[in-house]
Chains A and B, each alone.
Chain A
């Protein structure tokens, strides 16, 4: 490899700043503006609703009389409504928005179908609204991660198909011959998700398979939404933004190849560790446990690659909001993945499987890792597609610390409380209600953590709304490092 090629393999390519290239990037950013903003803004609206539903559900678990008179707000409906709004409303839509922008930037082509994709986004939101109302009025399928009723999901599927087709076309039209590591992950996510979703729809909702085969399809699907949809988008974004903001190449090209293919090979076999101890033939569970342990390879590889790229540059965290969120997310990815390996072992699963420990683990993954990475990405992307800088540094700080501290306060106590709960349940001499009583302090702390997260979300949405109001004002050049004198100057400039 020549030295230019080596650099291309290790850095997201758009580093040069000659005027021609900058004009091309501006054209690409402009082409993404409407669809990406539409996905992002509607995603954040779902995040606010999902946060509210989460708080209601959380309070109900230590205060069962709370809002108990209304059937549509009973715990068993609010909980799946929360999951589906944050997964399909917030995380997926924000993920799609970030994917579109990254794909265009890395392929060096303006997005070919902004209008059509915006229509697709509109239908995605329509399908989801119908589905979430469906859950609240009692049409939930009660299949975890697939609760949206059958009459709403085809709308989601077809609008997704439209987005994916155009993203893959963008990839085919690429003007940059070199493929950066982020593109592998994004392309994989775009192709894996429809396969997962179609299989689950057909085999669970349209023509349900017999008996416990439903459970294996369910967990193959649900775990892969995490592993083959959110994880590759999140890792792709981390691979893009760390080198981009820090201004140095990723640690090792070969580790990035190893990390990608070992994830592709092992992650999709993980799902059935959710059924340890369940009524399934042992081989199915064993194969998933083995694959879960094999995940150590991609996790450690990616961890070395991400964290070693940061070594010596942690000072930059003070200045770049993007980097703060992204590095937090990368660390949470390492932690949640290692925790996931532990959870999949039979001896550990025997204790924590049916407890709140699993809920804490899921939030460390979907929130600590994926959501934080998405927030970080948006701090970089939104100023570029709107050509406006974030109006308030104070709100960025509230957002970061609300979410970071909220998440730590959520995960640490609830993981610990979950282990105590599991040990209690496995000791038949302790009455069940005694075990329930033991979980109450941890559940109350969780509600407090939820309030902190909600504070962070509101700060972010206010800041974004403020920024969007300024779209009608004069142009301001975005800067990478906001928490510095130049950054502050850019924000406060009249």
Chain B
């Protein structure tokens, strides 16, 4: 094999094959995917998915910047493949359309922590999320998730009385009398993003199981 040009062409054509197959073809098949419009049981027209706005979108940037994706996936595998659905991580598998507006798409490849596809549905309480981010041991004893104290501000209780969004800390996590811990804007935005994470809408390619669909 001493013929340079042949080697050169072989090198280019082999990579070109998968570049067409795994880069261009997926883009051709999925690049023009649009939101799904349907009418639910009560006659309301539902367009899904919707782009994120405001605080939830800013929160997605913090999720990216803090590298949450290295421990948390955002994908529910189909029924019978793994136990994602049995664990309550989602009522149906996720499909391409669920991620239409995500930039970047953060599917994740690790579950050092649980899947977060539907964390907004599983945990809707602001208080739970704030406590959990401030120190995961408060809500999930034994977790290996790092605490995020820098997303919070520890300050003196204002003269007008404790802030309405101050964390309710007790026991070993309590702060000294006269002090309180409040979320910074980053924490607020991150929690809005987490609360926005849910795939609870029926899609033709991924219908919700019947019993659950009736509940809606």
> Does chain B have a CB within 8 A of A77?
yes
> Does chain B have a CB within 8 A of A225?
no
Q: How far is the CA of A432 from the CA of B102 in the complex (A)?
A: 27
A83: nearest residue on chain B (CB-CB)? B70
Contact across chains for B83 and A213 when beta carbons are under 8 A apart: no
Known A211-B30, A215-B105, A277-B82: A62·B23 in contact at CB below 8 Å = no
Contact across chains for A216 and B1 when beta carbons are under 8 A apart: no
Interface residues of B in 25-41 (CB under 8 A from A): 26-27, 29-33
Known A280-B96, A288-B22, A426-B82: A64·B4 in contact at CB below 8 Å = no
Partner of A142, one of B87, B93, B104: B104
> Does chain A have a CB within 8 A of B53?
no
Residues of A within 8 A of B108 (CB): 354
Contact across chains for A61 and B112 when beta carbons are under 8 A apart: yes
> Does chain A have a CB within 8 A of B179?
no
Q: How far is the CA of A160 from the CA of B102 in the complex (A)?
A: 31
Q: How far is the CA of A139 from the CA of B65 in the complex (A)?
A: 6
Q: Of B72-80, B188-196, B207-215, which binds chain A?
A: B72-80
Known A79-B70, A264-B10: A433·B146 in contact at CB below 8 Å = no
Residues of B within 8 A of A220 (CB): 18-19, 22-23
Contact across chains for B15 and A268 when beta carbons are under 8 A apart: yes
Residues of A within 8 A of B65 (CB): 77, 138-140, 142
* B67 → A minimal CB distance (Å): 2
Partner of B30, one of A65, A208, A212, A269: A212
Q: How far is the CA of A436 from the CA of B102 in the complex (A)?
A: 29
Contact across chains for A427 and B75 when beta carbons are under 8 A apart: no
Residues of B within 8 A of A138 (CB): 65-66
* B142 → A minimal CB distance (Å): 5
Known A212-B107, A279-B93, A426-B82: A433·B87 in contact at CB below 8 Å = no
Q: How far is the CA of A375 from the CA of B87 in the complex (A)?
A: 45
> Does chain B have a CB within 8 A of A122?
no
Contact across chains for A428 and B107 when beta carbons are under 8 A apart: no
Q: How far is the CA of A57 from the CA of B118 in the complex (A)?
A: 27
Q: Of B124-132, B147-155, B156-164, B165-173, which binds chain A?
A: B147-155
> Does chain A have a CB within 8 A of B176?
no
Residues of B within 8 A of A192 (CB): 11, 15
Contact across chains for B104 and A214 when beta carbons are under 8 A apart: yes
Interface residues of A in 250-271 (CB under 8 A from B): 257, 261, 264-265, 268-269, 271
Known A74-B66, A75-B146, A210-B33: A279·B107 in contact at CB below 8 Å = yes
Interface residues of B in 47-71 (CB under 8 A from A): 63-71
* B60 → A minimal CB distance (Å): 10
Residues of B within 8 A of A172 (CB): 4
Residues of A within 8 A of B147 (CB): 64-65, 68
Known A191-B11, A228-B15: A279·B23 in contact at CB below 8 Å = no
> Does chain B have a CB within 8 A of A187?
yes
Residues of B within 8 A of A20 (CB): none
Contact across chains for A62 and B2 when beta carbons are under 8 A apart: no
> Does chain A have a CB within 8 A of B17?
yes
Residues of A within 8 A of B44 (CB): none
Q: How far is the CA of A152 from the CA of B112 in the complex (A)?
A: 30
Q: How far is the CA of A494 from the CA of B8 in the complex (A)?
A: 49
Known A199-B19, A216-B23: A141·B104 in contact at CB below 8 Å = yes
Q: How far is the CA of A270 from the CA of B22 in the complex (A)?
A: 9
> Does chain A have a CB within 8 A of B185?
no
Residues of B within 8 A of A209 (CB): 27, 31
Mask of B129-141 contacts with A, CB within 8 angstroms, 1/0: 0000000100011
Contact across chains for B26 and A216 when beta carbons are under 8 A apart: yes
Residues of A within 8 A of B93 (CB): 279
> Does chain B have a CB within 8 A of A204?
yes
Residues of A within 8 A of B83 (CB): 425-428
Contact across chains for A433 and B141 when beta carbons are under 8 A apart: yes
Contact across chains for B96 and A76 when beta carbons are under 8 A apart: no
Q: How far is the CA of A79 from the CA of B108 in the complex (A)?
A: 14
Residues of B within 8 A of A (CB): 1-2, 4, 7-8, 10-12, 14-15, 17-19, 21-23, 26-27, 29-33, 63-71, 73, 75, 77-78, 81-83, 86-87, 93-114, 136, 140-150
Q: Can you show 29 pairs from A to B with CB atoms below 8 A apart?
A: A64-B146, A71-B150, A79-B67, A138-B66, A140-B64, A140-B67, A179-B4, A191-B12, A208-B104, A210-B27, A211-B96, A212-B105, A213-B27, A213-B30, A214-B105, A220-B22, A220-B23, A264-B15, A268-B19, A269-B18, A279-B95, A279-B96, A281-B96, A346-B81, A426-B82, A428-B87, A433-B142, A436-B112, A436-B144
Residues of A within 8 A of B (CB): 60-62, 64-65, 68-71, 74-77, 79-80, 138-144, 171-172, 177-179, 184, 187-188, 191-192, 195-196, 199, 203-204, 208-217, 220, 224, 228, 257, 261, 264-265, 268-269, 271-272, 274-275, 277-281, 284, 287-288, 346, 350, 353-356, 358-359, 425-428, 432-433, 436-437, 439-440, 443
